[in-house]
Amino acid sequence: MVCKTWFSLVALGCTVLATPPGGTEPGGGPTIIEFDCSDTPELCNNMCWGAFCTDQGDGAIGQTLTYDAPSPDTTNARYKAACQTPKNRCSGNGDYNSCDEYPFKQTNEADIEDAVSRCVTTNAQSIQGGKISAFTQKHKALDQMLITFGNPGDSKFCNYPPTCDNKDGAEWQNGGPAPEPKNPPKNKRHYYLTARGTELASGVKLPVGKRVTSFEVNQTAVEGNIRRLGKRDHFTEYQTVDNEVVEYLFSV
C-alpha cells in the first residue's frame, strides 16, 4: 500500500538529530533533498503537481519517496506506465519532447496507478537524472527521500500563492490531462532560507538547523566529459553537498 500523505512517514516536530553522510535520518526518517527549480522549472512543476495537487479526497502523492534500487525492466515499465499512451506522448513536442514522471521511476511509489507526467526538455531531464543518480550512488534500497524545492519562483505549482490550475493540460495522469483537485490543498506550504542562499519550499515543516542534501556541478567531471566526449553530460556531472535550513520565512 502506498502512503499518499507527506505527513504520515516523518514527524519533524521532534528533537533534531544529525544525519550521517549518505544515510537516512536516524530512526528511519527520510533524507531531505533539495531540487533547485531555477535550472529546471518545468520539472519542479511536475514534482509539485504530484506532491501537492493530486488530492482527489484521499491525499496527494506527497513528497516522501522510497528508493528501491529497481531493475532496468522495472524502471522502464514505470516510465511507460506514466509517459506512454501508448507511445511517448511528448514525441514531436518541439523542445519539450521528453516526458518526466513523478514519482520517480527509481522509487516504489512509482508503482501507483495515478503517477503524473509533464513534457520537459531533454536537457532538464538529464540534469534531474544526474541529481537522482548522485543521490542513489550514496544510498541503498529502501532509503527514503523527502523532496523539497529550491528557488521555486519560476514554478507556479511550487511558488506562492499556491495554485493547482491545469487549464493548459500540461500535467497528465492516467492517460489524459490531470484533473484539478476537487478542493484547494488543505495543507500549507512552508518556505525557508538555506545556508547556500536558496529559498526552499516544502509541505512538511522543517526546523531551523535541519540538514538538507543539495546538489552542485562537479567541475572535474565536466572537464573530463568535454575532453572525452567533446560535450557536457549532465547525467554524470552532479554531486551531493550538505546544506541546512537557516531561517523560516513564511507559510501559505
In the chain, where the domains are located: 31-251
Digit-coded pLDDT (tens) for 44-89: 999 999 999 998 877 889 999 999 999 999 999 999 999 987 678 8
Report how far residue 252's alpha carbon sits from residue 249's, in angstroms, rounded to the nearest whole number.
10
* Residue 164 contacts residue 181 (beta carbons within 8 Å): yes
Digit-coded pLDDT (tens) for 2-56: 333 332 333 333 323 333 333 455 445 799 999 999 999 999 999 999 999 998 8
* Residue 155 contacts residue 149 (beta carbons within 8 Å): yes
Residue 112: predicted pLDDT = 87
Across the chain, mean pLDDT equals: 86
Query: What are the respective helix, strand and coil percentages of the chain, to the nearest 5?
Result: 25, 25, 50
What band does 234 get if pLDDT is binned at 50, 70 and 90? confident
Digit-coded pLDDT (tens) for 101-139: 999 999 999 998 899 999 999 999 999 999 999 999 989
Overall average pLDDT of the 221-234 stretch: 89
Please count the helices (runs of H) and the strands (runs of E) in the chain.
4, 11
The radius of gyration computed from the CA coordinates of the chain, to the nearest angstrom, equals: 17
Measure the CA dihedral 86/62/240/43, to 10°.
40
Report how far residue 41's alpha carbon sits from residue 45's, in angstroms, rounded to the nearest whole number.
6
